[in-house]
Structure 1
Amino acid sequence: MNNMGHCNFELVPKRLFQIFPFFKYLMYTPSYHSLHHTQFRTNYSLFMPLYDYIYGTMDSSTDKVYETSLERKEEMPNIVHLTHPTTLESIYHLRLGFAWLAAGPYTSKWYLWVLLPVTWWSMLVAWIYGQTFVVERNMFNHLKLQTWVVPRYSFQYLLSWQREAINNLIEEAIVEADKSDVKVLSLGLLNQASCSAILYTLESSCICWIMELQGEELNRSGELYIQKHPKLKVRVVDGSSLAVAVVLNSIPKGTKQILLRGNLSKVAFAIVQALCEKGVEVVTVYKDEYEKLKLRFSSRFSNTLIFSKSFSSQVWLVGDGLRKDEQWKAAKGTIFIPFSQFPPTKMRKDCIYHTTPAMMTPKAFQNMHSCENWLPRKVMSAWRAAGIVHALEEWNSHECGEIMLDTENIWIASLRHGFQPVIAPAHN
């Protein structure tokens, strides 16, 4: 509440007080806090405005200032990244939560279970509120950037009866961005879900369990919105090309063979194609994955696509669906390089685990005081960075559905604008 009260803009929605009128006597808003400092002998009780009401010290203009602040036209950004909370307690790792938690990579904390009633209350409010909200504002050179959050958690993306509502929230955000002359909107995490959706909970720096939902698609990596709104001026970007480029440039030079394991996706297919074109052997250990790759590429890569029961490859490219027991079959010193948005559970101390596709932010990037999910400080997911590069290069095409930009071009462009590869980890 203290962090919320110190915001320099009014963020508490009017609808909240309309549904729960008594809340305005139990919590203070940024405008209430402003009057505390600017008016004489009013609004003393910040953490319990009820006492100001009881003792007659509530400023008479409190409600008017609150409503006026909400009506104030906000300066709109050039670039928007659209994300969502992952687990229930991840809400505390947002910048609006606990600043000291947001400053470090997201890991599950046992003591946050004490706040479980507040956690469930926040989920209820988010469900009722039903609109995206801003959690971060940044500057990079001449560009203004914002991170918007869809008020839905990962597990809600798995619920079939929630898909239409989630799609509507994403669509509303895209339309709002378009009306506000936003140049680029990038889709993060499950907002671009296509063939599968994954639910995770985190334990320490790991994912401790996975539930997978196959079949019904959410929005085909954003293609659904482009089809519904063909005249959009805002460019919708899923960031696949930069994610592919990051993975390809994370593979040690001289690698002749990699093992591919995980749900096949747009990013996975593009990585396989790029590796096979370079003559690198791609090994799969499951027949169904091998058949899907053969179907995708016909006989083009018959010499480099290999089906084998051996787990001996020293480099593994892993995505959603990698099981814990499979990691124990890897040789000592194996390098695990994720190609999906969510990291694998780290089961082996004698192996090397890369971060999910990401890049170090340029030095000129301002106001980045929180970590993006499980990534380290000053590190940005490739999907988010792709939107920034897209705007800087003033590219006019969307990147969604089956559309993918040239991976080499976007990699070179990202380096030119100051993004740097994340330093490869050493052995644990």
Structure 2
Amino acid sequence: MLKTALLSTWPWENLGVFKYMLLGPLVGKVIHSRLEGDDHNLASTWCFNILLISFLRFALYMWYTNTCNMLFLTRNRRICTKGIDFEQIDKEWNWDNFLILQALIASLAIYLFPYGFPNLSVWETKGLVVIVVLHVFVSEPLYYWMHRLLHGNYLYTPYHSFHHSSTVPQPVTAGSTTFLEGLLVTTVIGVPILICCLLGFGSKTVIYGYVFVFDFLCCFGHSNVEIMPHWIFDDFPFFKYLLYTPTYYSLHHSEKNSNYCLFMPLYDAIWNTLNTKSWDLHKRISLDAGKSTRVPDFVFLAHVVDMRSSLHVPFIFRSFASLPYNPRLFLLPIFPSTFIVMLVMWAKSKTFLLSFYNLRGRLHQTWVVPRFGFQYFLPFASEGINKHIEEAILRADKLGVKVISLAALNKNEALNGGGTLFVKKHPNLKVRVVHGNTLTAAVILNEIHEDVKEVFLTGATSKLGRAIALYLCRRGVRVLMLTHATERFQNIQSEAPTDCQKNLVQVTKYQAARNCKTWVVGKWITPGQQRWAPSGTHFHQFVVPPIFAFRRDCTYGDLAAMKLPDDVEGLGSCEYTMGRGIVHACHAGGVVHSLEGWTHHEVGALDVDRIDVVWKAAIKHGFQPVCSHPK
């Protein structure tokens, strides 16, 4: 059993979400005082203030982190251009431990005063001056030397290496520390407040103000987004020693042997630990902020599914987005504001950058059309949606993107013919427009066991349904195609080889499948329609949204998906309900198109002859099938 260094782990590390119950006594004290009508009890008042300030601090770190992850705002100002991956998110999952620690220590301080906690005034001008002086001459040098000691040979590995293991600094990275570091930072922030109060200059403004300025500057330095203009340092050279920048901290985070200061580089200058590259790098990043960043090789053009899933994005709740989407109760209070944002997006917003990752040295980005799923089914909205998609394609073409893949309803046949509309309208496009459905068909077909001799297919005359039916009939499988459109069925049947046409059978009722145990669902079916499936049936599906798993005696497949190759970098969010590192097959199909360097557009009807070609290419590049069919 491995031994851990003393004070390197948090005492409540094994409590999980129950760690917040450690603040229960504070809540109980406040509630008890309210019930007893003793609202002005000093201990109760300060318990309430401790809880309030802890909540506001949590909100500040979350807000700053979310803002930094709004790539459509910050992409040209990022210092480290790598993406934040799942490993870093997991390491920083309990970043708020230090808030709990400081709240507990503050609550204990209430009972250290023999005559009750001091009844501080709201404002004390002298206190503001004193707290600034104490910070500059006590907190700054104290933190500097503590920090340098943590980088020593004996303390770095057990106590500080964990903090530096986060590849890309984020505001919450400031709280991703060991227990010892948490105690040291608590000392740094607590000593000035305690001295100020003992000297009689304390006030609520001093305490709230100092804590929030301290936290804001921590977020600012760890943000990985450079917003400090270089001209300030050019016009006021001494100012560069009074306030650090995200670039300044990033050099410490990556190189680890310089720039140890808390917020003031003055102390690095005094003790000769200032990185000489700091100001030149800051100026270069500041000057380059308005310029375009690296052009992506591949763009996946997605859209919002619904209001609930719209919150499943990295710039709302990073941790929530790193898990497969599932409705959560904590999202309910945000729905009213989400509804307002939806209306604004409908009226004003343009396509924006959501996330990115790197694969085989190529940059892959996800852009989002600001439209919700239900809007695609409104007849009067189709023109506006196509306009957004067209603008995104033209923008990608102008930037030099090689492949843009249309997700879900962005390639709806009724909307734009599976992307055909844009290719015909702009015949000179350099960017390749891809719907990715060839790989979707391949995934579904490779899930169907070779010993299956009969398949029941709904959505049979759709783009995917047609390709699946033609492929299976060539394989000698009898396909029961559910459709009332006899002419469309006959057209599909005529595409099959003459000796295979007998394998395509038109049916118009679900009763025809009562003896068929393999259903491929391309059109939504009700629980009542599912009743016609015999016990033991497996439902493969390519329908959005997926059908309800109504039958307990049957099994249900997930939407067609593939796992990205193992060498993907910077991926830190899940694609809707998919697991980590798993994407919808149409997304994977676009990536394969890009990796192979194919120069054709993949729009409109599927080329059945290319299904095996695309499948083999995907496997060659390290994509792995996600098979939900029980073996």
Task: Specify which of 296, 302, 316 is matched with residue 97 of structure 1.
Answer: 316
Task: Specify which of 483, 489, 503 is matched with residue 304 of structure 1.
Answer: 503
Note the residue ranges of structure 2 that are not aligned, 5 or more in a row.
Answer: 1-62, 76-218, 230-239, 246-285
Report deviation, 1:361. 1.1
The residue aligned with 2:484 is 288
Report deviation, 1:426. 4.2
Provide the rounded CA distance (Å) in 1 between the counterparts of 2:583 and 2:375.
Answer: 25
Within a 5 Å distance, the mapping from 1:67-146 to structure 2 comes to 71-146=290-365
| Contact 1:341–1:357 (8 Å) recurs in 2 | no
| Contact 1:317–1:336 (8 Å) recurs in 2 | yes
The residue aligned with 1:176 is 395
CA deviation vs aligned residue, 1:64-118 (integer Å, no higher than 9, x gap) = xxx9887332222000000001011111112222122212222233442221212
Report deviation, 1:369. 1.6
| Contact 2:71–2:354 (8 Å) recurs in 1 | no
Provide the rounded CA distance (Å) in 2 between the counterparts of 1:70 and 1:349.
Answer: 56
| Contact 1:342–1:356 (8 Å) recurs in 2 | no
Q: Which one scores higher on RCO, CA 8 angstroms, separation ≥ 6?
A: 1
CA deviation vs aligned residue, 1:45-81 (integer Å, no higher than 9, x gap) = xxxxxxxxxxxxxxxxxxxxxx988733222200000
TM-score of the superposed pair, with normalisation by structure 2: 0.54
Provide the rounded CA distance (Å) in 2 between the counterparts of 1:109 and 1:396.
Answer: 43
Question: Is 2:453 the counterpart of 1:256?
Answer: yes
Taking a change above 3 Å as real, the CA distance of residues 2 and 229 of structure 1, as seen in their structure-2 partners, is same
Provide the rounded CA distance (Å) in 1 between the counterparts of 2:468 and 2:453.
Answer: 14
CA deviation vs aligned residue, 1:356-414 (integer Å, no higher than 9, x gap) = 11111110111222111122222111111111111111111000023537011110000
Question: Is 2:438 the counterpart of 1:218?
Answer: no
Question: Is 2:630 the counterpart of 1:411?
Answer: no
Report deviation, 1:339. 2.6
Within a 5 Å distance, the mapping from 1:27-426 to structure 2 comes to 34-35=227-228, 71-194=290-413, 217-262=414-459, 264-284=461-481, 286=482, 288=484, 292-298=488-494, 300=498, 301-306=500-505, 307=507, 309-310=511-512, 311-402=514-605, 404=607, 406-426=610-630
SS in 2 for 1:406: helix
| Contact 1:130–1:169 (8 Å) recurs in 2 | no
Report deviation, 1:415. 0.2
TM-score of the superposed pair, with normalisation by structure 1: 0.78
Percent identity, aligned pairs only, is 34
CA deviation vs aligned residue, 1:11-37 (integer Å, no higher than 9, x gap) = 189xxxxxxxxxxxxxx997998559x
| Contact 2:562–2:583 (8 Å) recurs in 1 | yes
Provide the rounded CA distance (Å) in 1 between the counterparts of 2:600 and 2:437.
Answer: 14
The one-letter code sitting in structure 2 at the alignment partner of 1:242 is: L
The one-letter code sitting in structure 2 at the alignment partner of 1:333 is: G
Report deviation, 1:331. 1.9
Provide the rounded CA distance (Å) in 2 between the counterparts of 1:419 and 1:341.
Answer: 23
| Contact 2:447–2:629 (8 Å) recurs in 1 | no
Taking a change above 3 Å as real, the CA distance of residues 83 and 174 of structure 1, as seen in their structure-2 partners, is same
| Contact 2:470–2:492 (8 Å) recurs in 1 | no
The one-letter code sitting in structure 2 at the alignment partner of 1:266 is: K
Question: More strand by proportion, 1 or 2?
Answer: 1
Provide the rounded CA distance (Å) in 1 between the counterparts of 2:545 and 2:582.
Answer: 15
CA RMSD of aligned residues (A): 3.1
The one-letter code sitting in structure 2 at the alignment partner of 1:5 is: T
Provide the rounded CA distance (Å) in 2 between the counterparts of 1:184 and 1:343.
Answer: 28
SS in 2 for 1:317: strand
Note the residue ranges of structure 1 that are not aligned, 5 or more in a row.
Answer: 14-27, 44-66, 195-216
Provide the rounded CA distance (Å) in 1 between the counterparts of 2:372 and 2:288.
Answer: 29
SS in 1 for 2:516: coil
SS in 2 for 1:350: coil
Taking a change above 3 Å as real, the CA distance of residues 112 and 392 of structure 1, as seen in their structure-2 partners, is same
Report deviation, 1:5. 2.4
Provide the rounded CA distance (Å) in 1 between the counterparts of 2:374 and 2:527.
Answer: 21
| Contact 1:139–1:366 (8 Å) recurs in 2 | yes
| Contact 1:258–1:281 (8 Å) recurs in 2 | yes
The residue aligned with 1:4 is 66
CA deviation vs aligned residue, 1:184-231 (integer Å, no higher than 9, x gap) = 00000100001xxxxxxxxxxxxxxxxxxxxxx211000000111100
SS in 2 for 1:245: helix
Report deviation, 1:40. 5.0
Taking a change above 3 Å as real, the CA distance of residues 8 and 340 of structure 1, as seen in their structure-2 partners, is closer
Taking a change above 3 Å as real, the CA distance of residues 95 and 170 of structure 1, as seen in their structure-2 partners, is same
Provide the rounded CA distance (Å) in 1 between the counterparts of 2:620 and 2:225.
Answer: 45
| Contact 1:6–1:33 (8 Å) recurs in 2 | no
Provide the rounded CA distance (Å) in 1 between the counterparts of 2:243 and 2:516.
Answer: 71
The one-letter code sitting in structure 2 at the alignment partner of 1:293 is: F
Provide the rounded CA distance (Å) in 1 between the counterparts of 2:394 and 2:400.
Answer: 10
SS in 2 for 1:355: strand
Provide the rounded CA distance (Å) in 1 between the counterparts of 2:533 and 2:485.
Answer: 19
Taking a change above 3 Å as real, the CA distance of residues 71 and 128 of structure 1, as seen in their structure-2 partners, is farther
Report deviation, 1:325. 1.5
Taking a change above 3 Å as real, the CA distance of residues 416 and 130 of structure 1, as seen in their structure-2 partners, is same
SS in 2 for 1:349: coil
Provide the rounded CA distance (Å) in 2 between the counterparts of 1:165 and 1:74.
Answer: 28
State the number of aligned residues.
369
| Contact 1:371–1:377 (8 Å) recurs in 2 | yes
The residue aligned with 1:20 is none
Taking a change above 3 Å as real, the CA distance of residues 416 and 187 of structure 1, as seen in their structure-2 partners, is same
Provide the rounded CA distance (Å) in 2 between the counterparts of 1:165 and 1:7.
Answer: 28
Runs of 4+ in structure 1 off by over 4 angstroms are: 28-36, 38-43, 67-70, 299-302
The one-letter code sitting in structure 2 at the alignment partner of 1:96 is: F
Q: 105-114 or 355-364, which moves further after superposition?
A: 105-114
The residue aligned with 2:13 is none
Question: More helix by proportion, 1 or 2?
Answer: 2
